Chain A
Amino acid sequence: MASSDDSSLKAVQVKLVLLGEAAVGKSSLVLRFVQNDFNENTSPTIGAAFLTQKCRLENRVVKFEIWDTAGQERVRLDRYPDPFHSLAPMYYRNAQAAVVVYDITKASSLEKAKAWVKELQRQASPNIVIALVGNKLDLVNDDAASSAVPAPPVDAADDEDEVKSTDGEDDEDTADEAGSSKPRPAAAASTSDSLRQVYTAEAEAYAKESNLLFYEASAKTGQNVGDLFTEIAKTIPIDTIAPKPVPAGRRSGAANAAQTDGNVNLGEGSQAKKGGCC
């Protein structure tokens, strides 16, 4: 285990994997979280990139080991699992957390994300914490409008079925099809910005139904990025990681605390200060 700079807290390592369609901003989210930086155009990830970042909660320090995977199916190296290891592809083998990213300005990317969620729920470790993240929030300025949009389209359930029936290699294709066959009536719903193709309510409903954490975020502005990772850190069931001595005087039952104590996070404030979330 890596040593923590704060001797009172022992850092627990959490393997986190980022998944999602190409060009939804996976690498940018990581860059924002790890270096508090943003590049407009980053090279497509080939295979996977690896970064680490610590995240301090009030009762523990979580060291994220982040696997940022390639978006294009074929350049992810893990399609052919190593026969000597487990059957689960190596990037999310033993991952304790996954961030599945979609682009809120691209409907098809949500379909791909759903396929990923399904893949994870089947292949990854059972206790994995999955967060669904709609990126590029900066491109739409209709936060209020979108959250005001009522229920998602009625065919949301159909979407589900469609995704369930396929996965693996063909995900992307099916997703594209689903996306294009159901054009979102963006103009009708929101006059402020037509770029948005995925309504908050729709994605949120899906996330709730599938038991996922949910955020809309912007790697460009940093909005919600810190919160996202903090929330993940809190939600990781503590007993699945290395046993952690609970220092006296600190609150136990971290998971519960995390759920209720939404205010207690060291998200963006400390991030800006130290260039990270701890």
Chain B
Amino acid sequence: MSLPLHLRSYKEKSKDELARDYFNIPNQDAFAPVAAGEKPVLQKVRNRLDAGGLQGMDINAVLSVEGKEEVYAGRLSLLPPFLCFNSVDRRSCRFTLPLFTIRRVERLNSRAGVFALSLATWHGMRIILQLTSLLPTAEHFSILLRDALKAQLAPMKQLKPFLPSFYSEFLIAGPSTQHNVDKHDSLLLGSEIGEKLQQHLDGEGDLRGPGSEGKGEYQRGLGETFGFPGDARKMRERSKMKLWREYFIVHGRNLTLIRYPPFQRLLQVGLPSRLRGELWEVMSGSVYLRFAYPDTYKQLLSANEGRSSQSTDEIEKDLNRSLPEYKAYQSDIGLAKLRRVLVAYSFRNPELGYCQALNIVVAGLLIYMSEEQAFWLLEVLCDRILPGYYSPSMEGTLLDQRVFESLVQRCLPMIKDHFTSVDVQLSVASLPWFLSLYINSMPLIFAFRIVDCVLAMGVKVLFQIGLAVLKINGEALLEVTDDGMFINLMRTYFSTIGDSAHPNHPDPRVRAITNFQELLVVAFREFNVITDETIQGERKRLRAIISDEIEKFSKRAAVRNLKSAGRFDKETVGVIYDHYFTAVCSDDANAGGLSGDYKHGDQFDQPRILVDVNGRVETRIDLRTFRSFLAGIATWAREETVTSNAFIQRTDKRVAEHELIDRLFYSWDSQGLGTLALQDVVVGLDRVMKAGLMESIEWFFNLHDKNKDGYLTKDEVIQLSESLLFIFRNEPGDIYLAAVSKFILNAYEFGDATAPPVSGETEVLSPAIDGQEGSASHVRERSDSVARPHNLPYLNLATFRMVVLADELLENFFDTDLSASFQLDRGADEDYHQAQAKTEGLLGGLMNLVVTDTNKNRFNRLTDTFGAALGKHVEWRKPSLTRSRQTEAAPTEIGQRESLLTPAQQQQIEQRQRSTSSVSQTSVTSAKSTLTTDGKSLAEVESRYREESEMVRQAQEAVMHRPKFAVDAIGDSDDEEEEEGREGDGDGDDAVMDEVEAFLKAHGADDEGLKGEQKKVANDLLTAEPIR
């Protein structure tokens, strides 16, 4: 049994993290070491992608690139070690430049008031950036940039040997680059590239289509050997390659690639097969990982060679079933590659291990990518692009299925309503779409074009395509009456996706439009309202529900799988589970930084999760977690300090530490593993909570009888007494102290009388007893260390029982108080996530604004200080047992009052106190700001809601505009079909670009960037001299 711990440690991403995600910059936290043996190596290279404490900064800027007319205003972000730009419309132009690819930065001598930097990249591109903020801000930015650049000298040295791994380098080094060489060379400050180009001048530029093995040392996929899917001629590979080549020359390539509008167009007609792998890794950012960790993949393989696990077994089963229609996967070469990548990843991320559908995804990647490339892209997919999709609980998949359902409800309400009415679940069909990135759902050549878009534009594409599929099939979907019909309809649609969308149209050009083209147009034109923000928002909204469901399921499974529930009913076991789970989670929180460390393999160093020989993962708790677990249910296992000052009264709970608790832990550890599973805890609790008087006494006796010989030694008697005192430590008055003292006295008295005679055998065994006869009179002096060593059997159970029963207080304690001190009355936190989500809502958000976890302690201290100053500060410990409150006067007024209440009533009071205290906390600190923030957050929420509903309305209008479903959308609207249609007869590059036009339209007009004066300034800068 393993518990879905990570769901609670989930935190919404910060703005900075989102920015990094947007620019495909790897998350540094993801680089936890893989295995203990590998730590040093990985840490050494770690610095390469580390910001190293360097500061990032955002600034407004205007971008122009030499050789391009367009000038774009946007936001320039320094995210060390990357420099990123995004145009204002977040669509036309963007780049992610690793700083180590920038050879030179100069400030340009230009008109007054214009602060402009000229960047020369490795590939000889010159980028002009006008920083349009105030001068000091711009200067600050350039200082930060300079510092960040300085830190990149080491990786810069790695760049040159790394570049030949790109096909684009091989492609550019052809003869037709001749005329560019001079121009570029003159721009280059160093001449390496120039030399390199010269060397390759005689070489053949490789514009060949797929299928034949190319030369060069670039990383390549199986397609180079076994042929790429699809007909190269039909896919216009040669034309596409030529266009890309031209694009690379102006806009940079691989690590220095800048996305200008033509990029989007080239992308959406499908990447050429030979460039696909490289562009995938560049667009997704996985290339940065490959660059930074050149040895990791090999090391993972060699370190785990010959190891097998549950994951490797599962991988083995699926190897033969991964795109078996592709030739390479009918051969050992292909299967071996597939195996290596999947196995390496399963060891890198043992918690995820292997999930079916990954075999298909990776099989797809390997057609276009080398093993190492595919491995890193897989990492980025699992980690960032499709987070939680393939994890054991698959929470990401479940979440996105729910998000998809909700988007269908918004955009295609007729379909969703119909499905609801006939009880058909969308996910029966859509689950494989998302999990296999459509690779398993439609013919490969089309599926990979969707993968192109997903890797370039993010996960929203999966949703857009999904919605478009439903919309196009809308009419038929309304006829569906059961899951089966739905699945079959989808299957039929995908199998005909390469067919003409309008087979009977008189115009041959219209006939040439395929279902797939129509699908993309609908997806990107009609569903462009679905943005990254939409997805993030929906995920945030629905995550709580999914997390709760998964946790409830895990709980049910865990409770059901217990071998024994003892004398507890299922519900109570559920409560025990809640406490157990809460303890594990809170412990995580206390340990801190779990999210980072926990990720890859590290959790197996921690005792809380155990992996057995079969690679099975089990959640167990260690002593530390056990303490906090016990503190949750046993009153005496926690210190409850009630503090009251002039402002608030609060109860601080702290986990107590005592040998008794450790003793309990080890006695419950039935397998001697040093950790407890839920089963151990249930059995352990059963023994103490369901016990009667005699059973309890025996249990307590055994707990202290270390060697289980049926006798306590004198030491153990003392320890037992200490345990009792520990339990009684907070009881008011001294009756408990008196009772324990009496107990010790009696125990010694009776013990001496009943202790087993020291036989000859013991004398032989332990000469230390020499000379002592164990006479009762001696012992009564209680200075009996000489009389009888402390480590000999002394007090047996019967005597112990007698001694206990001699005291009414102790008898009552063992009869009822002990078991009653374990309180399982609370369903620890039903719907934890929803509750969390709610507190982030209206009032909760307000509460959080004022009192957060971090400032709570400080706030408490502050009020304490005030209270002390006013002489109103009072602190007392809350007693553990209820009985004492009835028998003894409590030291404080409140304690006295409480003592008259039943535990349940006390609980209520506590809760009330807790809630009132937090309320009073807020009101005391910021009675004024409360109101304003309240108003503000409400207004915000409202406006956001209005915005959203407006968006929804627009989407609905756009989508449901026509009463009939727009199956004929292309046939009867706009003019793009003419351009698309032409595709059929031309064979030139224009034809390729024609297809693009449809998308262009889908995306709205091309942004040509800035106009007029601003553009002129920017263009002037291209000729400006650097400041000396």
Q: A23's closest neighbor in chain B, by CB? A: B317
A247 at the interface (CB under 8 A from B): no
A65 at the interface (CB under 8 A from B): yes
Say which one of A162-170, A194-202, A255-263 lies at the interface with B: A162-170
Instruction: Say whether B616 contacts A166, CB under 8 Å.
Output: no
Q: A21's closest neighbor in chain B, by CB? A: B317
User: A41-B320, A50-B483, A176-B614 given as contacts; is B549 within 8 A of A83 (CB)?
Assistant: yes
Say which one of A4-12, A73-81, A143-151, A205-213 lies at the interface with B: A73-81
User: A44-B359, A50-B483, A169-B561 given as contacts; is B614 within 8 A of A75 (CB)?
Assistant: no
Instruction: Say whether B314 contacts A72, CB under 8 Å.
Output: yes
User: A74-B394, A167-B561, A173-B614 given as contacts; is B435 within 8 A of A46 (CB)?
Assistant: yes
B199 proximity list for chain A (CB < 8 A): none
B560 at the interface (CB under 8 A from A): yes
**Chain B interface SS verdict (over half):** helix
Nearest-CB distance from A38 to chain B (Å)?
13
Partner of B550, one of A22, A52, A80: A80
Nearest-CB distance from A249 to chain B (Å)?
33
Q: A42's closest neighbor in chain B, by CB? A: B321
**In the bound complex, CA of A163 to CA of B318 (Å):** 26
Instruction: Say whether B355 contacts A43, CB under 8 Å.
Output: no
**In the bound complex, CA of A91 to CA of B777 (Å):** 78
Partner of B318, one of A44, A165, A168, A177: A44
B303-334 contact mask (Cβ, 8 Å, vs A): 1 or 0: 00000001000100110111110000000000
Count of A-B contacts judged by CB separation below 8 Å: 101
A32-50 contact mask (Cβ, 8 Å, vs B): 1 or 0: 0000000111111011111
B11 at the interface (CB under 8 A from A): no
A70 at the interface (CB under 8 A from B): yes
Instruction: Say whether A79 contacts B553, CB under 8 Å.
Output: yes
Q: B313's closest neighbor in chain A, by CB? A: A176
**In the bound complex, CA of A272 to CA of B401 (Å):** 40
Instruction: Say whether B428 contacts A48, CB under 8 Å.
Output: yes
Q: B316's closest neighbor in chain A, by CB? A: A23
B454 at the interface (CB under 8 A from A): no
B394 proximity list for chain A (CB < 8 A): 74-75
B357 at the interface (CB under 8 A from A): yes
B563 proximity list for chain A (CB < 8 A): 165-166
Instruction: Say whether A46 contacts B1, CB under 8 Å.
Output: no
**In the bound complex, CA of A168 to CA of B428 (Å):** 21
A173 proximity list for chain B (CB < 8 A): 310, 614, 616
B392 proximity list for chain A (CB < 8 A): 74
What is the number of residues of chain B that contact chain A, defined by CB distance less than 8 Å?
A: 44
Instruction: Say whether B484 contacts A72, CB under 8 Å.
Output: no
Cβ < 8 Å to A, chain B residues 387-413:
392-394, 398, 401
Nearest-CB distance from A13 to chain B (Å)?
9
Partner of A44, one of B310, B321, B431: B321
B137 at the interface (CB under 8 A from A): no
Instruction: Say whether A22 contacts B317, CB under 8 Å.
Output: yes
Partner of A170, one of B1, B435, B488, B550: B1
Instruction: Say whether B561 contacts A168, CB under 8 Å.
Output: yes
**In the bound complex, CA of A51 to CA of B425 (Å):** 16
A90 at the interface (CB under 8 A from B): yes
Instruction: Say whether A75 contacts B356, CB under 8 Å.
Output: yes
Instruction: Say whether B557 contacts A169, CB under 8 Å.
Output: yes
Instruction: Say whether B616 contacts A46, CB under 8 Å.
Output: no
Instruction: Say whether B310 contacts A176, CB under 8 Å.
Output: yes
Instruction: Say whether B557 contacts A168, CB under 8 Å.
Output: yes
**In the bound complex, CA of A42 to CA of B323 (Å):** 8
Q: A66's closest neighbor in chain B, by CB? A: B484
B851 at the interface (CB under 8 A from A): no
B461 at the interface (CB under 8 A from A): no
B641 at the interface (CB under 8 A from A): no
A44 proximity list for chain B (CB < 8 A): 318, 321, 356-357, 359-360
**In the bound complex, CA of A83 to CA of B552 (Å):** 11
A167 proximity list for chain B (CB < 8 A): 560-561
Among A23, A43, A81, residue most surrounded by chain B Cβ atoms (within 10 Å): A43
Cβ < 8 Å to B, chain A residues 240-265:
none
Instruction: Say whether B360 contacts A43, CB under 8 Å.
Output: yes
B664 at the interface (CB under 8 A from A): no
Instruction: Say whether B561 contacts A74, CB under 8 Å.
Output: no
Partner of B488, one of A50, A74, A77: A50
B487 at the interface (CB under 8 A from A): yes
B284 at the interface (CB under 8 A from A): no
Cβ < 8 Å to A, chain B residues 468-515:
482-484, 487-488
A52 proximity list for chain B (CB < 8 A): 484
Q: B436's closest neighbor in chain A, by CB? A: A46
B948-979 contact mask (Cβ, 8 Å, vs A): 1 or 0: 00000000000000000000000000000000
**In the bound complex, CA of A268 to CA of B425 (Å):** 34
Instruction: Say whether B560 contacts A74, CB under 8 Å.
Output: no
A51 proximity list for chain B (CB < 8 A): 484
**In the bound complex, CA of A72 to CA of B425 (Å):** 21
Q: B427's closest neighbor in chain A, by CB? A: A77
B432 at the interface (CB under 8 A from A): yes
Q: A51's closest neighbor in chain B, by CB? A: B484
Partner of B355, one of A41, A42, A65, A74: A74
User: A46-B432, A74-B394, A167-B561 given as contacts; is B324 within 8 A of A22 (CB)?
Assistant: no
**In the bound complex, CA of A90 to CA of B314 (Å):** 25
A75 proximity list for chain B (CB < 8 A): 355-357, 394, 435
User: A72-B314, A90-B425 given as contacts; is B560 within 8 A of A43 (CB)?
Assistant: no
* A–B pairs, 17, beta carbons within 8 Å: A39-B324, A40-B324, A41-B320, A43-B321, A43-B323, A46-B356, A46-B357, A46-B431, A51-B484, A74-B355, A74-B393, A75-B356, A168-B556, A169-B1, A169-B561, A170-B557, A173-B614
Chain B residues in the interface with A (C-beta under 8 A): 1, 310, 314, 317-318, 320-324, 355-357, 359-360, 392-394, 398, 401, 425, 427-428, 431-432, 435-436, 440, 482-484, 487-488, 549-550, 553-554, 556-557, 560-561, 563, 614, 616
Q: What would 13 more interface pairs be, CB under 8 Å, given A43-B321, A79-B553?
A: A23-B318, A23-B321, A41-B324, A44-B357, A44-B359, A44-B360, A46-B432, A47-B432, A74-B356, A74-B394, A77-B428, A80-B553, A166-B563
List the 10 closest A-B pairs by CB distance, nearest first.
A41-B324, A23-B317, A47-B431, A168-B557, A46-B432, A50-B484, A44-B356, A50-B487, A72-B356, A41-B320
